[in-house]
Amino acid sequence: MLGLPLSTEVNSRIAKEKLYANAALAPSLRNMVKCQVELVIWRNKLADSTMGISAGESIKEIQVFEVQLRQREIDRRVLPAIAKAIPYKILFVLTFGGEAQAWMEVSGTFYDTGWLPLDEFVLKFEGLDLDAVYENLARQIASGRLGSGGDIAEAVELDKRRRELEREIAVLERKILRERQFNRQVEMSGELRRLKGELGDKNGI
């Protein structure tokens, strides 16, 4: 599906019971995994021994897990719980009904591609070492939210602030529509302009 070298293939099914044990999942999360996940398959191991590229300073391996779903959605708490049980970076590929989406954790935040038909689901594995491969994958999966260069941890923090501003703007716009007092509308409109100005600065507008 991802066109990775045969040397990276593992294709080993991971028993859910092992995930429960390693991740120390709470009963509620166990139930989510049981209800939402059909199979977890360890598809690929990206390492200096399998890819023919150098290990990174911080990333020695990237695992590719295919998560076959029972439904076309997954609770956002499930993948972070699984990731905590694995001492390596993980590229999650979720599949359901002829579609797939990629998820990856970057500096404590998960990003995803959204659902794509399998014939349109393409990721590029590029970089001189595994640090670069990981960062390039993360930027692809984040769909432009992390930019194309610079420190990726700083890019994540900037994106977090953008998301906060977007939420605040949406809430304030709804409040303005409901507000009947003109003076309050004027006051909130001023705050809205300030927030939109800050968001424009964060977006480089």
* Domain boundary pick from 146, 165, 189: 146
> pLDDT at residue 93 above 80?
yes
* Domain boundary pick from 146, 170, 190: 146
Reduce the DSSP state of residue 174 to 3 states and report it.
Answer: helix
Regarding whether 84 and 180 lie in a shared domain, the answer is no
Q: What are 97-154's pLDDT values in tens digits?
A: 999 999 999 988 999 999 999 989 999 999 999 999 999 999 999 988 898 888 899 9
| Whether 77 contacts 103, CB under 8 Å | no
pLDDT at residue 149, rounded to an integer? 81
Regarding whether 43 and 13 lie in a shared domain, the answer is yes
Tokens found for residue 96: 């359901």
- State pTM to two decimals: 0.83
Reduce the DSSP state of residue 193 to 3 states and report it.
Answer: helix
Query: In the 3-class helix/strand/coil scheme, how is 133-156 assigned residue by residue?
Result: HHHHHHHHHCCCCCCCCCCHHHHH
Regarding whether 170 and 135 lie in a shared domain, the answer is no
Regarding whether 196 and 127 lie in a shared domain, the answer is no
Q: pLDDT category, 83, cuts 50, 70, 90?
A: confident
Regarding whether 78 and 160 lie in a shared domain, the answer is no
- Max distance between CA atoms of the chain, in angstroms, equals 67
Regarding whether 179 and 109 lie in a shared domain, the answer is no
> pLDDT at residue 204 above 70?
no
pLDDT at residue 11, rounded to an integer? 95
* Domain presence at residue 182: yes
Domain region containing 79 = 6-146
Q: What are 143-201's pLDDT values in tens digits?
A: 888 988 888 999 999 998 988 999 999 999 999 999 988 899 989 999 999 988 888 87
CB environment 8-27: b (16+ within 10 A), e (fewer): beeeeebebeebbeebebee
Residues 6+ apart with CB under 8 A from 196: 169
Q: What are 45-64's pLDDT values in tens digits?
A: 999 999 889 999 999 999 99
pLDDT at residue 205, rounded to an integer? 41
